[in-house]
Structures are given as C-alpha cells and as structure tokens.
Amino acid sequence: MLALQNVIKLTNGNSMKRLFLFLAIGLMTAQCANAANLMDIYQKALTSDPTFQEALAKKMSDAEATPADLAVLLPTVKYTGSAALQKTITHSTITSNSTARTRTLGWTLSLTQSVFNFTNWKNLAAARDSVKAADATYNAAAQNLMTRVVNAYFAVLNAQDVLTYTAAEKRAFYREYQQAQQGYKVGVNTITDVYNAKASYDGAASDYVSAQNNLSSSREDLRAITGVLYDHTAPLAQSLPLVGPEPHDIDAWVDISNKQNWNIVAARYKALSAHNDAWAARGGHLPTVSATAQYDHSYARNFDTGRAQTKGPSAELDLTVPLFSGGSVTSATRKAIADYEYLLQKQEETYRTVNTQTRQDYLSVMSDISKVKADNQTIISNQSSLESMKQGYKAGTRTIVDVLNAEETLYNAKKTWSADRYDYIKKTISLKEAAGTLNANDLQIINTWLSSEATAPTQTKTPAAAIGKQTYLQIGAYYNERIAQDILAKIKKQTTAPAEIDTQTTTTRKIYRVQAGPLTTNGMIQKTKIQLKQAGFSDILIVEK
C-alpha cells in the first residue's frame, strides 16, 4: 500500500489516469480469470453433490450382496477345542469311600459343504442381478449429475442475460421518459405521453427487481449442487455452433435409448433379480443336501486307571426334506411373484417414459436450432422497426406508445434468443442422457463454447455511453432559434465539451435541441454534467444516437 501511494504522488494528471486505467484493466482481467466455467463447476459437483454421493454410497452397499450370498455356498471350516477336569467322589456303606479324578483334552476340525440348496443358488443369481442394477442406477445418477449441472449453470447465464436486457430496457424507457418530460415542457408531447413513458419505465423497474431475484435464486440452485456460491460464471460466446443430433433419425435414437439408457438397464436387472427371488422362494419346498467331514482327537487321563486316547476321521451326508412349514413358503412365494410382476410393470413404464423423453428431446433440439436462427432475424427486424418508430416519432407520424412498444418487443426478442440458445444446449444434453451416451467429454465440448469473460450482476444507475453509439447531454428544446443560440453560446463559454443545436422539423414547426457532445467516454459525460450544473443547467437529459 505504501508503494502504491508513493507511485501516485510521483505521477502527474495524465499519468494518474493511465495508472488507474491499468489498475482497472488488471482488476477486470483478474475477475475474468476467476470466472468459473462449466467444467470447473462439474468437477466440484462430483465431490460435493449430496444426491450423487448418496448414489455412490448405495452402489458400494449393494455391491456386498454378491459376496454375502456366495458365502453360504462355500465350505465352512471350524476348529473346536475343549479341556475338562472331572472329580468324582463315591460314598459307599459296603466298601470304602473312593475319589476318582479324570482330565480330558480334545479338539475337532470339521468342514461343512452345501451339496444342494436350490434357494441359495437362486439367491446368488438374484444378488448378481441386483448388483448390476445398482451399477446401472449409479451410472444413471452420474449422467443425471451432468444434466443437473448443465441445467443449473445455464439457468444462471439465462437469468444473467434477462437481468442485462431488462437493465438495458429500463435505461431505454428512462430516456424515453425524460424525453417525454422535456417534450411536454416545450409543448411537443402531451401529459399522456409522459404517463405512458413513466408506466413503461416503472414496469421495467419492477421487472428488473424480479430479474435480480431470479438470478439470486438460480445461483442458489447451483450452490445446492456444489456447495459453493458462484458470483462470476463464464458466459456463452455469441457464436454458437448449432449442430443437429447424429444420427438424424428419431427412431434410431429411440432404439439406442432402449438398449443403453441406464434407467432402463437398471429396471431390466431389477426385474431379473425379482424373478430369481421368486424361484428362491419356491425352493423352500425342495430338499437340501449337505456334507460334513471332520477329524476328532481326544485324550483322557484317569489318575487311578491310567490313560485313554481316541482319534480318527468321520464323514456324514445330511438330507433335509421340508414337509410342512405352516404355509410360510407358499406365502413367501406368492409375495415374490407379485413383486416380480410389479417390477415388470415398472420396467415397461420406464421404457415408455424414456421413449417419450427421447422423442421429445430430439424434436426440441431440432426445433431449438430453427428457433435460434429465426430469433436472430427477429432481432434484426425488431431493431429496424424500432429505428423506424423513432424516426416516425420525431416526424410526428408515430406516438411515444409506438416507440415504447417497439422497444419492449425488441428486448423481449433478445430474451427469447438467449433462452432458446440455452434451451438448445440443455435439450442436447437431455437427449444424450436419455440415450445413455452422455459423458464428461460432452461437457468439455460445451465448455469450449464459453467465453473467458465473467458475468456479474448488472447495476443500473445513470445511463452510460453505449458501445458503438454517440452520447449527448441535452440541455433543452426550444421553438425560438435565438434562445437556442444564446444557450449554446453560454455552454461553449462555460464548458470544455463540444456543443451543437440539433434541429428537428415536425409537421407544424421546428424544434431546436441544445446539446453537449458527442461524448465518447463515461469520464467525459460525468465531467460535462458537472460543468453544466455549475453553469446553472440542472435539467439534463442523456441522449444516445
């Protein structure tokens, strides 16, 4: 901070301006560099989105179903050891009392193997299908995360565009309102014109507040996925490649979705798992066979009679035939069959839902391509219409209502163009998700369509100079040319800005508008406004040409 102060002290006026310009450019560049793009947000969502993390945890949990059901089909090996000390005291009235002490040691090694258990084998098959369904569900969640990130990201950009266009519309209506007031003062406009312009400005001001709230809400929706509030996001470039779906056949996309859509795959494996569960329930009526092999070794020592030792292998084959279980097996079988029928219907429902979604997304993509192209032409036409309305208003053949309506139509067309561009991207992603082909590379391609410039909230205070336009500060409009000339001379004497008289001819008379300009920078505008106010001109209107 001390170094910066020293630099400022050593600079003259022009150097000071260059320094602040340099600092401003540096701050803008840093802001752009910090703008989060689509891939930045997607990478954050991979580790922060609760819905996706739930799907990951569920997949890991369901993956343990196969080892658990496989375990009951594998051999069970046990080792059992024992040690005992027994003391026996005998009381007799015939012989003398006696005491016997015996110590016993032993161990057993056994192996048990299921030879035939239909239910266990079907449970294993059901578990394997269940794991495949869990994997498919996880893949569906992964693709859905990409779709949700894209939708949330471009919802923010769309809200930002709406805010920007609404701000511009507000500024335009403000200028019309000021011009209507000036015209009313000199008798060119009626009070109705002023009221109409004021109503349009008030409506735009209300829309601007709504647009601000909508932008904040959209950013909160994005934060719900990532856990981070992004104030600066990379916008979509003006040039957007409008590429149709490949293949260009709606039925081909439906066929792909029927085979690869992860929700369909998950529904298919869930039904297969339920089918095996039904067979497993039926298996409760069947006999089971198991085999056991073991080796026993025991050692016993009686302190009176001596030692004894036994050891050797043994084997057995067990057959269990269920005869009656109170109807539990029959009931479980009926339930499993009903569950299977339920999942078959869910599978059919998923097929139909995905097919409908695929067709709608395909048609939407094709429609959005045409709409974006048409929107471009609509904006051009509405811009020409607005210019024509303004010229007609100056000539007295059009009313201010015509101008206001034309401006509103133009900005609505720009908002529609913006929304249709984002909708094209979102529907393209949705189509690929429905087909099951969506991957991170698709997001990377979209990321290349973004600009490096950051979008930030739009502030609307005093209208500033527009790019590509010339800005004037209008001091007043007069019917008397001599009065206008006197005002012009006073302005030239007391300000450093250029000034002129803009003569407008109506159907009945001429109007002489005294204005300072053209002013090419915001700095010039502010400086000239200060000079004009110091000269006694307070009612100043900003005009762009």
Q: Is the pLDDT of residue 26 over 70?
A: no
> What phi, psi does 460 have (nearest 5°)?
-125, 105
Is 187 in a helix, a strand, or coil? Answer: coil
For residue 73, give the H/E element and its range.
none
Per-residue pLDDT, 63:
86
Beta bridge partners of 84: 104
> Confidence band (pLDDT; 50, 70, 90) for 97?
low
> Confidence band (pLDDT; 50, 70, 90) for 93?
low
Count of beta carbons in the 10 Å neighbourhood of residue 253: 24
Mean pLDDT to the nearest integer, 331-343: 92
Per-residue pLDDT, 101:
75
Q: How far apart are CA 147 and CA 357, in angstroms?
A: 14
Dig out the tokens for 496 from the structure: 């450093």
227, 413, 517 from 416: Cα distances, Å:
30, 5, 35
Q: What is the pLDDT of residues 360-404, one digit of tens each?
A: 999 999 999 999 999 989 999 999 998 988 888 888 788 888 888
Q: What is the dihedral of CA 353, 354, 358, 364, to 10 degrees?
A: 40
Residue corresponding to tokens 């658990």:
68
| Contact status, residue 230 vs residue 224, Cβ threshold 8 Å | no
DSSP class of residue 284 equals: G
The 3-class SS string of 167-183 reads HHHHHHHHHHHHHHHHH
Q: How far apart are CA 216 and CA 223, in angstroms?
A: 10
Q: Is the pLDDT of residue 212 over 80?
A: yes
Buried b (16+ CB within 10 A) or exposed e, 189-213: beeebbebbbebbeebeebbeebbe
| Contact status, residue 488 vs residue 502, Cβ threshold 8 Å | no
The candidate with the shortest Cα–Cα distance to 349, out of 450, 277, 267, is 267
Contacts of 355 (CB under 8 A, 6+ apart): 254, 257, 258
What value, to the nearest 5°, has the Cα angle with vertex 32 and ends 29 and 35? 155
Mean pLDDT to the nearest integer, 311-337: 89
Q: What is the pLDDT of residues 432-450, one digit of tens each?
A: 999 999 999 999 999 999 9
> Confidence band (pLDDT; 50, 70, 90) for 509?
low
- Residue type for 256, please? I
> For the chain, which domains are there?
74-116+287-321 (2.20.200), 471-544 (3.30.70.1070)
Per-residue pLDDT, 29:
45
Q: What is the mean pLDDT of the chain?
A: 83
Mean pLDDT to the nearest integer, 257-275: 94
Beta bridge partners of 319: 289
Is 515 in a helix, a strand, or coil? Answer: strand
Q: How far apart are CA 149 and CA 446, in angstroms?
A: 12
DSSP3 helix / strand / coil % (the chain, rounded to 5): 60, 20, 20
Beta bridge partners of 76: 112
Residue corresponding to tokens 């087909």:
435
Dig out the tokens for 413 from the structure: 């067309």
Is pTM beyond 0.85 here? no
Most confident of 73-87, 113-127, 289-303: 113-127
Q: Which long-range contacts (CB under 8 A, 24 or more apart) does 113-117 make?
A: 113/75, 113/76, 113/290, 113/291, 113/292, 114/72, 114/73, 114/288, 114/289, 114/290, 115/289, 115/290, 115/291, 115/317, 116/287, 116/288, 116/289, 117/72, 117/73, 117/283, 117/288, 117/289, 117/290
Q: Is the pLDDT of residue 311 over 70?
A: yes
> Confidence band (pLDDT; 50, 70, 90) for 543?
low
Q: How far apart are CA 429 and CA 277, in angstroms?
A: 37
Dig out the tokens for 111 from the structure: 């192996």
Per-residue pLDDT, 479:
67
Dig out the tokens for 472 from the structure: 């004037």
Contacts of 316 (CB under 8 A, 6+ apart): 291, 292
Residue corresponding to tokens 């540096």:
26
> Confidence band (pLDDT; 50, 70, 90) for 497?
confident
Per-residue pLDDT, 217:
94
| Contact status, residue 532 vs residue 207, Cβ threshold 8 Å | no
Count of beta carbons in the 10 Å neighbourhood of residue 501: 14
Q: Is the pLDDT of residue 536 over 90?
A: no
Contacts of 513 (CB under 8 A, 6+ apart): 474, 476, 477, 478, 484, 501, 502, 503, 504
- Residue type for 285, please? H
Dig out the tokens for 390 from the structure: 């303004």
**Largest pairwise CA distance in the chain:** 158
> What phi, psi does 299 have (nearest 5°)?
-140, 125
> Confidence band (pLDDT; 50, 70, 90) for 19?
very low
Work out the angle between the directed axes of helices 50-62 and 38-48 (0-180°, nearest 10).
50
> Confidence band (pLDDT; 50, 70, 90) for 167?
very high
